[in-house]
Structure 1
Amino acid sequence: MGTLTMDFALAASLLGDSSVLLMSPWKPLILWGVFIAWAWLVATKIDKDLRYYNLGWEKWNAAFLGSGVVAIITFFTAGVFWISLPAGVVVLLIPVLIYWKVRNGSVPDGKQYHLSFSKDPAAAQQRKLEKARLSAAIQYSDVTGNDVKVPSKDDPEFQVYLRTEDIMGPALNARASRIEMLLTDAGCKIAWIIDGVRSKQEDMPVEDAAPAANFFKQIAGLSDSDARRTKSGSFSLNTGSGDTSVQMSISGSSRGPVVVFEFNRETSRLVSYDQLGLLPQQRALLDELVEAHERHGIVLVSGPAKQGVTTSIYSMLGRHDAYTCNIKTLEHEIEAFINGVDQAEWDPMNLDVDFGTNLQSILRRDPDVALVGDIRDAEAAKAAAAPGRKGPLIYVGMHADSLVACIREWVKHVGDVEEAVKPLRAVMHQRLIRRLCPNCKQQLAPEEMAAMKLPPGIGDKLCRRVGQVQIKNKIVDCPICSGTGFLGQTAIFEVLVVDDGVLKHLRNGDLKSALSAARKAKMLQLQEAAILKAGLGETSLDEIARVLSSKKKPAGKTKVEAS
């Protein structure tokens, strides 16, 4: 900036002392106007741009200073005014044009300067669309994988596009795995699911939310027909930090349409067996089922809705080599594709074939391992139980609030205690629990742990949730977990192995004695498994209380009965 001031002062001195210029009042004004315009461009726009992109502002300003000096000399030595003026202008513009070219090759795409004299309306519209695309924070791709065009800024649809960004952008920044929208006449209710916990957001006016929902329906390939039936589709988006797949579903309710978005669903469903959350002693109980001679019977995998049952049965299935054994699945909805596995999705619109009949057909093909996504009726349960302990190993997903409820529901579906319990090899029950953020969690002091009087063998890495860190003597929200204190989820399990002793009690309908026998064999209950995870520093005691205390149910019947 100082060099440009000196340049300007030199020009003023020479211009002011020129007797030739003083003879014509308008010639100095022209030179002054040209030079001031050039000096303003360099001193404000170009200098600021140089510093912003760190393009070596000292060298460039020296070049501009030199061109200014040469231009002034040209103005006063060329003799004829109409020769000296254009010659001086050329001298001033040469470094500017060179800078333009060098700058465009150095800055990110979309930040270059372009000059076009085209009068083609199509070209002008294309430039408008390109400018709008570059100004958009999110780029969408539709269900077919084609990029969705961003409307130009003067198109009313551009405001709809901005509303879609308002819905998606903040949720992604907050690490939400799911967005739920309820469109009512009074407004749109929005909630995020972050690490399994529902978080209500500010309402969006329905006049903004409804067009945005229609935009999402269009790019997800959803039709407006039969509004009562749940419809699902997919699309993807890119925020500049990578692609995100989005599974969209829309269904009706008494209050209005319910729109749900799930981010990267397939990736979240495919968790390796090692990362599932089973404790070593629980894994040891299940490992023998991988061996070919033990690969028979049924493993029930249960949990409440949205507690990771699908992820668990996919993970259990992943233990088996799909290229050396025949693996088949029957699912209500395929949520992730597994390499080498023959996956089938039941079509509820085909009234000629129910789920149970479809399952019978699959089991007749003699698979080594099978997966049944969710048992919801008696026919399907009977079809799964029929092969017994001599048939394939079948993983069965079930929604139940407890291990006891899972067994009772299974027996109820099959309709006969003996037929229901005879093929059982193991029964699993699970809950999802949040992991402590590794960046901000705080380990408890030994005296704090001693004061809690915890049972022995818990571990010495018990931690508490914090959510804040100290940066330069200032306490701020943890940048990793955004101040929640948690980062991701894991599962806690109960694993009941149905050995001869347990099976004997189950056959007699005595569930209480079956559980007692399992406890004598050191079966871990859900709360015990959770506390062991806390002792490993994976979660906190407060989080365990949150997950388990609200789930307590009356003990109910401890006798197994068929309906």
Structure 2
Amino acid sequence: MNMQDLPMPADIPIQAAQLAHARQLAQQSGRPLVEVLEAESGLPPDDFVRALGQLMHYPVLTALALHALQPRFDQLGFTEASHWQAVLLASEGPTPWLVMADPFDEVLPHRLQTMVSTPVRWCLAHRNDIAAYLQYHENQMRAMDQMQPETAHAGDEPSPVEALSLKSISEDSSPVVRFVRSTLYDALKAGASDIHLETTLHGLHVKYRIDGVLNEVGGLNGVAQAEQAISRIKVMSELDIAERRIPQDGRCKVHALGREIDLRVSIMPSVIGEDAVLRVLDRKALSEAQGISLEVLGFAPEMLARIRTQAESPYGMLLVTGPTGSGKTTTLYGIISEINTGQDKIITIEDPVEYQLPGVLQIPVNEKKGLTFARGLRSILRHDPDKIMVGEIRDGETAQIAVQSALTGHLVLTTVHANNVFDVISRFTNMGVDAYSFVSAVNAILAQRLIRVICPFCKVDDRPDAALLTKSGLQAADIRRYQFKKGQGCGQCHGTGYKGRKGIAELLQFDDRLRELIVAKAPISQVKALAAESGTRSMREAGLKLVETGETTLQEINRVTSLS
């Protein structure tokens, strides 16, 4: 990063009288002058640090620019950086940046310069942004630095005993165990939904999926240690550590953050070694599960009303579709929680049971023992249910039974993987379900996605360029009503500009005209035209509505939804 890349202070001057008064208060209270001055200025943190840079003639580093640079803890250690609220950052040129929070500490520059052997360029950042930056890198180091090879050097080829020894990867004192444990702990603390361990020619890359996007949190040097880390995951999941040629699936439980958390494990061989993906299935406490409702995903009020209308149907099928991690199961749990009045028998069959719902009979799939979705669903029908939830329809047999259940007076809630509501129709047809039975059973199909929303702590006005507007399919006349916003990046969102996610959805409600078109195998264009006439709005339209109100960005909508 060059000097011109640093945002210069804005014209928000701090008056000399304010500074003099703040000095007097700081002497009386013993508090740091920079904190007293900020309180006296009444400015927001970003404006204050820009005004402070103008006052003290320092360039200012925003949280976004801060997170774009790598720390130089080899020259100014993490402990010293935390103590002095200052951090040394690598730059594109030969001179690194030394970022500090308190320019009034006259001793600080001399002390830091003696610790750093090379010349530096000084700049300012807000103390909260520096603290968040250090916390972020501390989480990374806790996971990565605990894995120190004891006997092998980085890059050494492992011996067969070293790579496959069950003893070496099961003892609590093993550095591999400490590495895996800290990696899992940090991922759970960060709210990751998936943990990716990717083998490379030189070691291991660790990535967390947070808010639906992969973030690399570090790497592990050494082929031997990488293989032992994957083997440790296999041991935890009761998989075969000697088998490296075929995919393996398993699961395990860990106790962290005060509760038991399930991990669904997938091991996949590659030309280099093996990769592991751990899906986090956070089994909430019973008291938390009681609070699940449809509001959790943040659907628009009009969409919530339409979903609730479908959930109140006495019979039929409500299908929820979307990719993995789009909140389908949470939507179904929210529906069940709202319709569970105690007057109906509600039974679910799931793989796995993610939340425990009071008053609901929940059955976990166990394919090793022969309990599949199809077999479990047959047994459920003999248990006098009123409402049934099927975790996922994967095959024709399950689809046939679910449709027949909906036709015989049960309300069936289920999920299926498809890109949109119209693809679900062909999906069931391809699974061998009779079109007439399918349209007679289905009340509605709900397709949904989760999109990231702009971080409220660093939201600012935005003006998208013409290329982005064209790519997004917006016309010049349309954009006048849009309140374009973006996140600058701050400590709260780790420099991403996004914090949290919100649901967008499209709902296709079946009526007689739509059923007739589907049974007659009409072109999909006619089905879409009739659906639009009946009030179906696409997920892209729902997403653009959030862009219009300044809740998310065009880039995020383009990432999640298709223009077509």
Question: For this structure pair, what is the TM-score category when the shorter chain's length is used for normalisation?
Answer: 0.5 to 0.7
Q: How does 1:7-156 map to 2 (within 5 A)?
A: none
Determine the structure 2 residue equivalent to 1:66.
Answer: none
Once residues 375 and 188 of structure 2 are traced to their aligned partners in structure 1, the CA distance between those partners, rounded to angstroms, is: 42
Q: Deviations over 1:281-305 (max 9, x none)?
A: 22222222343xx321011111123
1:365 aligns with 2:383: yes
Amino acid at match of 1:502: L
Q: What is the CA distance between 1:458 and its match in structure 2?
A: 9.8
How far the C-alpha of 1:409 sits from its partner, in A, is: 0.3
SS of 2:354's partner is: coil
Q: Are 1:487 and 2:499 matched, yes or no?
A: yes
Q: Give the whole-Å Cα distance in 1 for the aligned partners of 2:203 and 2:513.
A: 58
The equivalent of 1:248 in structure 2 is 263
Structure 2 residue aligned with 1:300: 319
Q: Contact between 2:203 and 2:225, CA under 8 Å: does it hold in 1? A: no
Alignment-derived partner of residue 192 in structure 1: 208
Whichever residue aligns with residue 273 of structure 1, its letter is: L
- 1:38-437 maps to which residues of 2 (within 5 A)? 157=173, 159-164=175-180, 167-168=183-184, 171=187, 175-183=191-199, 186-204=202-220, 205-213=222-230, 220=236, 222=238, 224=240, 227=243, 229-237=248-256, 242-243=257-258, 245-255=260-270, 256-263=273-280, 265-267=282-284, 271-291=292-312, 294-321=313-340, 323-351=342-370, 354-437=372-455
State the shift of 1:314 in Å: 2.3
Q: Percent identity?
A: 27
Q: CA deviation at 1:515?
A: 2.5
CA displacement 1:294-351 (0-9 Å, x = unmatched)? 3210111111233222222222322211522211112232222222211112222235
Change (3 A) 1:335 1:249: same
Q: Quick one: structure 1 residues 169 and 529, their matched pair in 2 at CA, closer, same or farther if it must change by over 3 Å? A: same
For residues 186 and 456 of structure 1, do their structure 2 counterparts lie closer, same or farther at Cα, with a shift above 3 Å needed? Answer: closer
Q: Is the CA contact 2:484–2:547 (under 8 Å) kept in the aligned structure 1?
A: yes
Q: Distance in 2 between matches of 1:233 and 1:523?
A: 41
Q: Which amino acid aligns with 2:498?
A: F
- 1:346 and 1:137, CA in 2 relative to 1: closer, same or farther beyond 3 A? closer
Once the two structures are TM-superposed, the CA of residue 213 in structure 1 deviates from its matched residue by 4.8
Q: What secondary structure is seen at the aligned counterpart in 2 of 1:203?
A: strand
Contact 1:313 1:395 in 2 (8 A): yes
Q: Describe the superposition over 1:477-532 as per-residue Cα deviations: whole angstroms up to 9, x where unpaired.
A: x1211111111222211101112232222222224333222211221111101111
| C-alpha distance in 1 between matches for 2:416 and 2:281 | 23
> Which whole-Å CA distance do the structure 2 matches of 1:192 and 1:397 have between them?
25
Aligned-pair CA distance for 1:541: 1.6
Q: Aligned pair in 2 of structure 1 residues 203, 137: CA closer, same or farther (>3 Å)?
A: closer
Cα distance per residue 1:192-231 (max 9 Å; x no partner)? 212111123443124334444555565x463547855411
Q: Could you tell me which residue of structure 1 aligns to residue 561 of structure 2? A: 548
Corresponding residue for 1:133? none
CA–CA separation in structure 1 for the residues paired with 2:255 and 2:172: 23
Partner SS, residue 377 of structure 2: helix
* 1:341 alignment partner AA: V
Contact 1:174–1:482 at 8 Å: present in 2 too?
A: no
Q: TM-score, normalised by structure 1?
A: 0.60
Matched with 1:40 is none
Change (3 A) 1:175 1:278: closer
Q: Structure 2 length as normaliser, TM-score?
A: 0.60
State the 1:390 CA deviation.
Answer: 4.7
In the other structure, the counterpart of 2:44 is none
Superimposed CA distance per residue, residues 48-67 of structure 1 (whole angstroms, 9 cap, x where no aligned partner) = xxxx9xxxxxxxxxxxxxxx
Q: Choose which of 451, 457, 462 in structure 2 pairs with 1:439.
A: 457
Output the CA distance in 1 between the equivalents of 2:372 and 2:259: 35
**Contact 2:448-2:503 at 8 Å conserved across structures:** yes
Structure 2 stretches lacking a partner, 5+ long: 1-82, 84-141, 145-170
One-letter code aligned to 1:278: F
Alignment RMSD, CA only?
3.7
Cα offset for 1:444? 5.0
- Per mean C-alpha deviation after superposition, the further-off stretch among 262-271 and 513-522 is 262-271
2:531 maps to what in 1?
A: 518
Summarize the Cα distance change of 1:531–1:458 in structure 2 as closer, same or farther, 3 Å threshold.
farther
How far apart in 2 are the matches of 1:512 and 1:366? 41
Give yes or no for contact 1:250–1:258 (8 Å, CA) kept in 2.
Answer: no
8 A contact 1:442–1:466 mirrored in 2: yes
Against the structure 1 CA distance between its residues 512 and 223, is the aligned structure 2 distance closer, same or farther, given a 3 Å change threshold? closer
Aligned residue type for 2:357: I
Structure 2 equivalent of residue 110 of structure 1: none
One-letter amino acid of the structure 1 residue matched with residue 321 of structure 2: S
SS at match of 1:260: strand
Question: Could you say which structure has the greater relative contact order, defined with CA pairs below 8 angstroms and 6 or more residues apart?
Answer: 2
CA distance in 2, matches of 1:455, 1:496: 29
CA contact (8 A) 1:372 1:395 kept: yes
TM-fit CA distance, 1:186: 4.6
Partner of 2:487: 465
Letter in 1 for 2:310: L
Instruction: Note closer, same or farther for the CA distance 1:392–1:208 as it changes in structure 2 (3 Å cut).
Output: same
Q: Secondary structure at the match of 2:504?
A: strand
Residue type of the alignment partner of 1:313: L
Question: Mean Cα displacement is larger for which, 258-267 or 500-509?
Answer: 258-267
- How far 1:422 sits from its partner (Å)? 0.9
Provide Cα deviations, 1:84-115, integer angstroms capped at 9, x if missing partner.
Answer: xxxxxxxxxxxxxxxxxxxxxxxxxxxxxxxx
Tell me the alpha carbon deviations over residues 160-202 of structure 1, each in whole angstroms, 9 at most, x when there is no partner: 4543365346545655332111346752232221211112344
Q: Give structure 1 stretches of 5+ with no counterpart.
A: 1-51, 53-135, 139-154, 468-477, 554-563
Q: Which residue of 1 aligns with 2:10?
A: none
- 1:347-392 C-alpha deviation (Å, 9 max, x unpaired): 22235x6532321221233322111111111111111111344521
Q: 1:379 to 1:438 in 2, by over 3 A?
A: same
For this pair of structures, how many residues does the alignment match? Answer: 383
Deviations 1:406-458 (A, max 9, x none): 11102222431101111110011122211111111124589x9x997577799
Structure whose CA Rg is larger:
1
Give the match's secondary structure for 1:157: coil
Is residue 2:526 matched to residue 1:505?
no
- Using a 3 Å threshold, how does the CA distance of structure 1 residues 516 and 390 change in structure 2: closer, same or farther? farther
Structure 2 residue 544 is the aligned partner of structure 1 residue 531: yes
Q: Please state whether the residue corresponding to 2:324 is helix, strand or coil.
A: coil
Q: Counterpart of 1:463 in structure 2: which amino acid?
A: K
- Residues 455, 288 of structure 1: alpha-carbon distance in 2 compared, 3 angstrom cutoff: farther
